[in-house]
């Protein structure tokens, strides 16, 4: 009887320890988050290094280097996306580091509220510019290893700010008539 009681006590103790440690493990693995403070308000994105490791590392390095601070959302297309992170308010393109390889076949889709890397026609040309999808954009999803746009995170709060951005009146080249400035981009966790 004493042996059974000891076994029950040990199992209970192990169960309690596991229940205590599981939330700590989940917290330690929480995705990094970046807060954007813009002239239209704040929004927060979480990024997924497990899905797009090189893209996330690149993006977070730009955040740490304060590259995005003082840049603008220079391309706004309602019912498509809002794009920023590469130009100053005077429309000068900021210098960038070398591009990162395409990681679009990672299971993430260009759905409403996701953040993805902008690039040229070269699939491996993404540097600093990113966009937030303001609708599901299935045609941007990868169909093979050398197409699509790398989704690497999603907006977790402040989507109302993105919704305000998307309806900003624009002029030539889809440039907002009233600048939308990224005052700061900060790693919050």
Give me the chain's average pLDDT, please: 91
Q: What is the pLDDT of residue 1?
A: 54
Q: Is the pLDDT of residue 45 over 50?
A: yes
pLDDT in tens, 61-104: 999 999 999 999 999 999 999 999 999 999 999 999 999 999 99
Q: Is the pLDDT of residue 7 over 70?
A: no
Tell me the average pLDDT across 175-187: 98
pLDDT in tens, 10-27: 555 445 555 555 544 544
Q: What is the pLDDT of residue 19?
A: 53
Tokens found for residue 108: 């993430």
Integer angstrom CA distances of residue 109 from 50, 61, 96, 151, 154: 15, 23, 26, 6, 10
Q: Is the pLDDT of residue 179 over 80?
A: yes
The domain made up of 31-187 is a member of CATH 3.20.20.140: no
- Do the beta carbons of residue 150 and residue 104 sit within 8 Å? yes
Q: What is the pLDDT of residue 140?
A: 98
- Do the beta carbons of residue 177 and residue 37 sit within 8 Å? no
Q: What share of the chain is helix, strand, coil (3-state, %, to 5)?
A: 30, 30, 45
* Model pTM score: 0.85
Higher pLDDT, 184 or 9: 184
**Which residue is listed with tokens 């239209």?**
40
């Amino acid at each position: 009887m004493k042996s059974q009681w000891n076994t029950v006590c040990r199992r209970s103790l192990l169960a309690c320890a596991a229940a205590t440690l599981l939330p700590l493990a989940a917290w330690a693995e929480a995705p990094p988050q970046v807060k954007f403070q813009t002239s239209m308000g704040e929004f927060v994105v979480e990024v997924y290094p497990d899905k797009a490791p090189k893209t996330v590392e690149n993006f977070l390095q730009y955040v740490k280097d304060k590259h995005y601070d003082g840049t603008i959302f220079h391309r706004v297309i309602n019912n498509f996306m809002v794009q920023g992170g590469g130009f100053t308010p005077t429309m000068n393109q900021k210098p960038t580091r070398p591009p990162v390889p395409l990681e679009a076949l990672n299971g993430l889709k260009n759905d409403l509220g996701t953040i993805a890397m902008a690039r040229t026609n070269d699939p491996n040309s993404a540097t600093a510019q990113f966009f937030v999808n303001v609708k599901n954009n299935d045609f941007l999803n990868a169909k093979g290893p050398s197409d699509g746009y790398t989704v690497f995170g999603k907006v977790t709060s402040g989507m109302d700010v993105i919704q305000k951005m998307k309806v900003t009146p624009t002029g030539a080249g889809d440039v907002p008539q009233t600048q939308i400035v990224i005052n700061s981009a900060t790693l919050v966790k």
